[in-house]
């Protein structure tokens, strides 16, 4: 076997392990799935797990990072474009919110992205907290949160840090819930059919209204 073919084979094995692990974790949870379960389902061996990941926790980290790193890179690139367009002026609130939500919506509505299982895994992870995963996600999102918080405070200089936290917290909740419910039809309603553009504009309009809404006295 040539060196190139060997590398391709290693890459295929690594990707197969990640795909299988993602499905098993989404179905049964991070704690209930063992390395043995993953090995059997992926038709791999313990040596492959050790070679590519080392430990179960490093496998989990690699699984989340392969989905989240590209998403965050797209968000930061979109925010860079918004801030460059604004120049010395404050960026538009709607433009900052769109830079945050559009990459996630595009990823979710792209059939080739293979993220439906990962969305299920994320939802399950929120319901079944894992301290190690929580630390990983905190480190992972730190730069993105810091950049978007700064941009949102420039767009809405009257907000306090507490206001910003809660309004962005609710925006993230609306984004994740809307993506999770794409495959579910609400009772009494026709099946949900939406495009990236329509979904993004609905989320941005909803979130911007929330940012502008005064707190009750």
Supply angle C-alpha 129, 58, 100, rounded to 5.
60
- 3-state SS class at 172: helix
Reported confidence tier of residue 3, pLDDT bands at 50, 70, 90 = very low
Q: Are residues 16 and 97 in the same domain?
A: no
d(Cα 176, Cα 158) in Å, to the nearest integer? Answer: 27
What is the domain range of residue 84? 65-212
Q: What is the pLDDT averaged over residues 134-142?
A: 86
* Phi, psi angle pair for 129, to nearest 5°: -55, 140
Q: pTM for the full model?
A: 0.85
Q: Is residue 59 part of a domain?
A: no
d(Cα 19, Cα 108) in Å, to the nearest integer? Answer: 17
List the single range of 12-16, 99-103, 188-192 with lowest mean pLDDT: 188-192
Q: Are residues 135 and 190 in the same domain?
A: yes
Q: Are residues 87 and 163 in the same domain?
A: yes
Q: Are residues 108 and 173 in the same domain?
A: yes
Percent of the chain with pLDDT over 70: 92
């Amino acid at each position: 076997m040539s060196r190139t073919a060997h590398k391709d084979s290693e890459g295929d094995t690594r990707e197969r392990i990640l795909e299988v692990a993602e499905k098993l974790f989404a179905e049964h949870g991070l704690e209930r799935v063992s390395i043995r379960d993953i090995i059997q389902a992926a038709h791999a061996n313990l040596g492959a797990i050790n070679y590519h990941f080392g430990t179960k926790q490093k496998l989990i980290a690699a699984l989340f990072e392969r989905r989240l790193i590209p998403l965050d890179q797209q968000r930061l690139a979109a925010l860079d474009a918004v801030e460059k367009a604004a120049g010395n002026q404050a960026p538009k609130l709607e433009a900052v919110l769109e830079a945050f939500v559009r990459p996630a919506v595009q990823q979710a509505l792209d059939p080739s992205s293979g993220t439906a299982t990962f969305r299920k895994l994320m939802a399950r992870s929120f319901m079944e907290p894992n301290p190690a995963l929580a630390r990983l996600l905190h480190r992972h999102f730190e730069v993105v949160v810091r950049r978007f918080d700064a941009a949102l405070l420039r767009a809405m200089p009257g907000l306090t840090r507490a206001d910003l936290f809660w309004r962005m917290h609710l925006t993230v909740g609306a984004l994740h819930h809307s993506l999770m419910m794409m495959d579910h039809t609400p009772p009494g309603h026709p099946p949900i059919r939406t495009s990236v553009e329509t979904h993004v504009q609905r989320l941005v309009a909803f979130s911007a209204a929330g940012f502008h809404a005064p707190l009750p006295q």
